[in-house]
Every structure is written in structure tokens, then in C-alpha cells.
Amino acid sequence: MSLHWTELLPIDRYAVRTADQLGNREHKTLQLLYQPLTGTTAISLYNMLWSKLEKDCFWSGEATHHELMAMLNLPLDDIYDARRILEGIGLMKTFRRQEEKSTFFIYELQPPMTPAQFFQNDVLSVFLYNKLGKDRYIQLRSRFLIEAVDTRAYSEVTAAFNDVFSSLQYSEINPRSNLANVEEDKELEGDYHEQHIFFNESAFDFDLLKADLPVFINGDKLLNEPIKSVIRRLAFVYRLDPLEMSRIVQQSLSNDDSIDEAELRRKVQDWYRFEYGSEPPALGLRTQPAQHRTMSEKEPVTEKEKMILFYEQTSPLAFLESISDGAKVPLSDVKLVESLIFDYQLQPGVVNVLLDYVLKTNNMKLNQNLVQKIAGHWSRKHIQTVKEAMDLAKKEYQTRKQRLPAGGGEKNAAGQARSYRPYVRKDKLPKWLENGPQTADNPEKEGLNDSNLKEQKQQFEEMLRLRKSSRQK
């Protein structure tokens, strides 16, 4: 069940604000460049909020979210999810004020990037390429190209400012500060807002990167804020950890011991092609969103609770790597995971449960048709939390077992039992999928205790470290 109600209610009021107006180019950019990444619901919400602004107005009147639900014909949880997508991709800022009986929101719409900014962005351009494919991406990019002028055949004769205007006498000069501070609670129409995508600063461990640098490199001086911003984006897109990024940073140093951004990007792309081939990285959500977690503020006791916590804290790709002892996830599986998240709108933790269920009941084979069939079913039932997914998977598994005759074989159309048994590896099944109550009275019977979990985690981390060190050699 969605937990949007902890953040947003239909009676909560909102107003829309912007510092600029949209034109035809911005609308085209939203439809052609942003919508493949955000989906239609998020862009519909953006356009609906923009329509609240009358011509040449930069503030809208107040309205309730119940009205917004009626206008978009969407439930509130879909609107909340679409709002977060707009926030994440840089198209909206949200401000909240708690009042006595409700909450008041300001939705500050941000203009989309220009096509030039979008295609030069390290994050969005790569994910758009992956979403559309090479041919469609090149075709779309060509729509925004204009003919360049070969200035080598010309000599520039543009007049300079001081060629046209003369300096004022001292008595005629009005200090700019006196003009700028006339109304401190207002800002100029179309005031400049830097176009960027916000990344949580704790998402990348710069301390570990600095510690891995040679002693003769001053990490604090080398990693200034602009460079750290570039590193965060590249690490997110290409799934680089701090140790791998440290090695690439050292290879990208210029003669004056500074980082060449262009060289850093090229080295990262070379590393990715060497590791994963020519296919671009896929866009994927990291882990289960906070509003859909049930173990955020609870200490796990039973094995089921420990598995819920594991599923919630692990991304689907990391989960697939962990069950294959750190081996690279095949590209077909990467695309399948992306489809589960974006096409079927499943949460990452729910995807983990689905993958584990299919693998453990089908001889560790990830049958795409079966996965998509289950995903469609879970999507229609609006499964949002890991616990809901585990309960439904267990119910489906028990139903599947009950359909089998007592002899273990399935029946044919004539009602006669077939001679073979379906392959079910009971010794490999997750314990939460099997029969029996989940209690905290006897933790040893449930399988993993805290020390075993820590030991397995340490073994997995050591395996990854050895794999990285052998690759560096």
C-alpha cells in the first residue's frame, strides 16, 4: 500500500509559481526529450500546473489537491509519484508549510533545459540514448541542430560596447545596489536559474576516493566543487565506486595536477566500454523509496523481517550480482530489470522479491515471459511494498503446489497424471516462501542470525575487493 498519505492529502492546498514563461521550444523539449525519461503522467502534471498560470502571471491562485485529482483523473498516489519524478529531473521545486488543519505547498516550476544543455548533460543524454536507441536518438538530436557558420572565411566586425556608448559623468551614475534593493521580496521576471539535476551529496564517498589517492596528490585541492559535481554524475550514470573512480581520476590528471573534465569523461566511457561493452548504461532507480519501506525504523527479528530489510536496501542489479557471486549481470537481465521498474511501474524492492521468487522456483533461470507475466499481475494489484510482494508470492506458490496431484505430477487434458515431476528446488527456496509461521522464538530455526548476515556481507565485500584488485592488475 502506498504511503503517500503521510506526505500529502486531498485537502492540502497548493499554489504554482514560476520565474519564467514557456514558449514553443520549451514545450517541444518537454515532449521529445524529457517525456521518454519521466513518462506521460509526470509531463501531464507539469502541463496542468503550468496551465494554472494565466498569461503574463507568475503566481497562481490557491487550489486543493482534490481538484488536481479530478482534473488529471488520477489518484493522489500517482500525482505524488509524478511530482517526485519532476523534482528529481529538475523540473520542479517543492516548498511546504504546515498549517493548523492542512498543509500548504508551493510548486515552483523550473523551465526545461535547452536542447544544447540537455544533449551536453552527462546524465540525461546517456539515459535518453539508452531509452530510444542509437538511430532514434540521432534522428531526434538532428531536429535540434542548426547550420553553423564557418567563421574562418569571415572577419568579425561586431562593434564593442565602448565603441557605441560613452561613459557617464560621475554625477550621472546611480549605484546599481540602490536600484537592485528597492524591493527585496521580489525578483526579476526570467531570473536566471542554473539548470542541473540534484544529487544527494552522501551518495558518493569522496573520503574513500581521497584516501585511495597517492600521498603526493592533494585531494582537497584537486576535488573542488565543480569537479565533485562532475564525478557524482559520472559515478551515478556509469555505476562507479570510489576506488574505481580514484584510478580513473589519476589517469585524467593534466600536467599541472588538475583534472581535465573532458579527459575524465573519456576515461570513464572507455572504462565502461571495457567492462560492459558498447551498450549504454540503463536508467534504474537505486533502492526502495523511503515512503514504501516498512523496516526503516524497526529492528529486524525474524528471518522474514531480515529479508524485507535486505530487499529494501538493495538495488535490483546489486541483488542479481550478489546471487551470482559478483559476476557481471547480463545485458538482457539489465534491460529486463529496467522494464520492470519503468514499464510495469514496480518498486525496486518489489522487483527484488519477484526476481528471487522466479529464480528460486525455476532452477535459477530468469524466464523473461514468466517474469513479465507475474509483473503484470503485481502491477494490476498495485503491489508497492516488499511485504505485500512476499505475501503474494507465498500465496501464489502455495496455490501452485495445491494444484499438483498427490503423486507430484500434473494432469493432462484427460485427467491422467503425467509421468514427470515439475522441478522445484525446495532446498534452495527462501524460507519466507515455505510453510510455517515466522516467529522470533527460535531464531536458529529461521536460518540466518545477525552474525551469519554480517559474515556473509563481509565475504561478499571481500570477493568484490579481490575482483577489483585483479582487474586493476
172-183, pLDDT tens digit by residue? 444 444 444 445
Is residue 71 very low, low, confident or very high in pLDDT (cuts 50, 70, 90)? very high
Is residue 163 very low, low, confident or very high in pLDDT (cuts 50, 70, 90)? low
Is residue 360 very low, low, confident or very high in pLDDT (cuts 50, 70, 90)? confident
Span of 73-77, 111-115, 188-192 with lowest mean pLDDT: 188-192
With 50 as the cut, is the pLDDT of residue 190 above it?
Answer: no
Give me the mean pLDDT over the 74-95 stretch: 92
What are the φ/ψ torsions at residue 13 (nearest 5 degrees)? -95, 160
With 60 as the cut, is the pLDDT of residue 63 above it?
Answer: yes
Please give the grid coordinates belonging to residue 304.
522474514
% of the chain at pLDDT higher than 70: 72
Q: Is residue 244 within 8 Å of 272, Cβ to Cβ? A: no
With 50 as the cut, is the pLDDT of residue 391 above it?
Answer: yes
* Per-residue pLDDT at 319: 85
* Per-residue pLDDT at 200: 61
Predicted TM-score (pTM) above 0.75: no
Orientation angle between helical segments 225-238 and 261-276, nearest 10 degrees: 20
Q: What does the alpha-carbon distance between residue 62 and residue 79 come to, in Å, rounded to a whole number?
A: 17
DSSP one-letter code for 137: H
Q: How far is CA 169 from CA 165, 172, 229, 251, 470, in A?
A: 13, 5, 44, 55, 71
Is residue 95 very low, low, confident or very high in pLDDT (cuts 50, 70, 90)? very high
* Per-residue pLDDT at 306: 86
Convert 211-223 to b/e letters by CB count within 10 Å (16 or more is b): ebbeeeeebeebb
Q: Is residue 282 within 8 Å of 129, Cβ to Cβ? A: no
Task: Give per-residue pLDDT as tens, 438-454.
Answer: 444 444 444 445 555 55
- Which helix (DSSP H) or strand (DSSP E) does residue 334 occupy? helix 331-342
Contacts of 171 (CB under 8 A, 6+ apart): none
% of the chain at pLDDT higher than 90: 20
Give me the mean pLDDT over the 233-262 stretch: 83
Closest CA to 104 of 21, 218, 17: 17
Q: What does the alpha-carbon distance between residue 2 and residue 7 come to, in Å, rounded to a whole number?
A: 11
Task: Give per-residue pLDDT as tens, 19-34.
Answer: 777 778 888 899 999 9
With 90 as the cut, is the pLDDT of residue 70 above it?
Answer: yes
Span of 73-87, 157-171, 298-312, 329-343 with lowest mean pLDDT: 157-171
Span of 80-84, 114-118, 136-140, 399-403 with lowest mean pLDDT: 399-403
Rounded to the nearest integer, the mean pLDDT of the chain is 76
* Per-residue pLDDT at 176: 43
* Per-residue pLDDT at 45: 95
* Per-residue pLDDT at 174: 47
Span of 249-253, 343-347, 366-370 with lowest mean pLDDT: 343-347
With 70 as the cut, is the pLDDT of residue 283 above it?
Answer: no
Q: How far is CA 102 from the centre of its chain?
A: 30
DSSP one-letter code for 434: S
Q: Is residue 142 within 8 Å of 131, Cβ to Cβ? A: no
Span of 62-66, 132-136, 281-285, 342-346 with lowest mean pLDDT: 281-285
Q: Is residue 295 within 8 Å of 306, Cβ to Cβ? A: no
Q: Is residue 55 within 8 Å of 147, Cβ to Cβ? A: no
With 80 as the cut, is the pLDDT of residue 39 above it?
Answer: yes
Q: What does the alpha-carbon distance between residue 386 and residue 308 come to, in Å, rounded to a whole number?
A: 6
Top mean pLDDT of 114-118, 121-125, 256-260, 428-432 is at: 114-118
**Residues for the chain: how many in total?**
473
With 60 as the cut, is the pLDDT of residue 125 above it?
Answer: yes
Q: Tell me the longest C-alpha to C-alpha distance in the chain.
A: 106
With 80 as the cut, is the pLDDT of residue 73 above it?
Answer: yes
Span of 64-73, 150-159, 436-445 with lowest mean pLDDT: 436-445
Is residue 318 very low, low, confident or very high in pLDDT (cuts 50, 70, 90)? confident
- 103-109 β-sheet, strand order: 63-64, 13-17, 103-109, 92-98
Q: What is residue 372's three-state secondary structure?
A: helix
Is residue 43 very low, low, confident or very high in pLDDT (cuts 50, 70, 90)? very high
CB half-sphere exposure, 79, CA atoms < 13 A = 23
With 80 as the cut, is the pLDDT of residue 55 above it?
Answer: no
Closest CA to 404 of 424, 376, 388, 427: 424
Give me the mean pLDDT over the 75-82 stretch: 91
